[in-house]
Amino acid sequence: MQAQHDYDLHENANVYRGAYELSAQSTFTFNDARKRLEDFIGAERRTTVFTMNATAAMNLVAQAWGERNIAAGDCIVCALSDHHSATLPFALLSERVGADMVYVPFDDSGRLDREEFARALERKPKLVCLTHVGNVFGIAQPVKQLADEAHEAGARVLVDAAQSFAHGGVDVRELGADWVAFSAHKAYGPMGIGALWISDGAFDEMDPRGGGGGTVSHVSTESYYLRPKALQYEPGTPPVSQAVGWAAAIDYLDALGKEDIARHDEALTRYAVRGLQRIDGVNVLGDHSRADGQTGLVSFTVRSATPSDVAGFLAGLGVAVRSGGHCALPLHAALGLVGSSRISIGVYTTRDDIDAALAAVALCRQAYEPCR
């Protein structure tokens, strides 16, 4: 917030537009923010497109790549556990062009069912959408292995990394994907900005789906020349202030240390899971007993109480949880649920915070215990 305030107060001018000092400084600051993001995710220069959020990033893939490469009869593979933002852009695309959507189920642990995934790849999909960390189970998927298998089947791979960005960081070189989508607001940054990282091969197969100032180096009545790589996909005035705020949030994460953040989140996640499992009538979604993939959130249900009941009861005790379908209704439907409640863990969360949440859940369970 301070970084954005300072920018808005002292440097606020349109970028790439003016030769005067304020505009030049604003352009430098904006480019530096992009560089900061690319350094954090292990990306090369100008391979990330700033978007409104991760949802917009995945819609960009559906529009700029999908409309050029997906045709009637083609197959797109997603997971039943994916966030709606990772499935709906491609469901809409499939409906428009007559392609098929295949939803891979999850196994008892909450991880992608590998046998069903292998069967889906037998259909030779054009695109496979993977989620690095789901926003319901909160369990990390073996994305690199899955992406390699998808590539062997001839597919391009999109990874939704919105949930994993803040929990130990993301290195695009280690994911093996063609696109990776992020949101700033899930990583202590401002709302209203996200990003899409694009591999060189994927860039070559995309067409811009929006034009305007900033995307071209020359325009005449006969022709136009697009700017290189990411800049082709950022028409108009970009979200400069939000980019500056996001860069400051990345500095904050770097100062804490990716490995330290991961250890902190994993330890508190396990502590929360164990505590919830000790409360009679509380069911934790997903298998958190394995050593891998504890990434800062736990979803659960309370017998005899709806998710809204739980959230309202806990709110009255000063405990904030998310309730409902979490933009993952097919996942909940597969579990026979209308929704769940979710504890989210951040770098500022303490064991005392988890204890307070567990005590509140225990009181909620008692309050909604049926009369006997």
The percentage of the chain sitting over the pLDDT mark of 70, rounded to a whole number, equals 98
**pLDDT tens digits, one per residue of 150-186:** 999 999 999 999 999 998 889 999 999 999 999 999 9
Greater confidence (372 vs 155) lies with: 155
- pLDDT above 60 (res 30): yes
Beta carbons of 127 and 70 less than 8 angstroms apart: yes
Catalytic-labelled residue, pool 75, 129, 327, 364 = 327
Q: What is the pLDDT of residue 227?
A: 85
Q: What is the pLDDT of residue 362?
A: 98
- CA 198 from chain centre, in angstroms, equals 15
From the candidate CATH numbers 3.90.1150.10, 3.90.700.10, 3.40.50.980, 3.50.7.10, the one assigned to the domain spanning 258-367: 3.90.1150.10
CATH topology of domain 2-255: Aspartate Aminotransferase; domain 2 (3.40.640)
Q: What is the pLDDT of residue 218?
A: 87
- pLDDT above 50 (res 148): yes
Rounded to two decimals, what is the model's pTM?
Answer: 0.95
Please give the average per-residue pLDDT across 88-95, as a whole number.
98
- pLDDT above 90 (res 213): no
Q: What is the pLDDT of residue 249?
A: 98
Q: How far apart are CA 157 and CA 73, in angstroms?
A: 19
Shortest CA distance to 283 belongs to which of 265, 301, 260, 299? 301
**pLDDT tens digits, one per residue of 74-90:** 999 999 999 999 999 99
Please give the average per-residue pLDDT across 43-61, as a whole number.
97
Out of 30-44, 129-143, 239-253, 285-299, which region has the weakest mean confidence (pLDDT)? Answer: 285-299
- pLDDT above 50 (res 130): yes
Domain boundary assignment for the chain: 2-255, 258-367
Backbone angles phi, psi at 56, to 5 degrees: -65, -35
Please give the average per-residue pLDDT across 54-72, as a whole number.
98
- pLDDT above 70 (res 193): yes
Pairing of strands 100-104, 127-131: unpaired
Task: From residue 45, give the alpha-carbon distance in Å to each of 106, 112, 165, 200, 262.
Answer: 36, 33, 19, 11, 26
- pLDDT above 70 (res 293): no
**pLDDT tens digits, one per residue of 252-276:** 999 999 999 999 999 999 999 999 9
Q: What is the pLDDT of residue 372?
A: 41
Q: What is the overall mean pLDDT for the chain? A: 94
Beta carbons of 170 and 261 less than 8 angstroms apart: no
Backbone angles phi, psi at 322, to 5 degrees: -90, 145
**pLDDT tens digits, one per residue of 307-348:** 999 999 999 999 999 999 999 999 999 999 999 999 999 999
Q: What is the pLDDT of residue 295?
A: 82
**pLDDT tens digits, one per residue of 339-369:** 999 999 999 999 999 999 999 999 999 999 8
Catalytic residue list contains 364: no
Q: How far apart are CA 242 and CA 223, in angstroms?
A: 33
Q: What is the pLDDT of residue 288?
A: 79
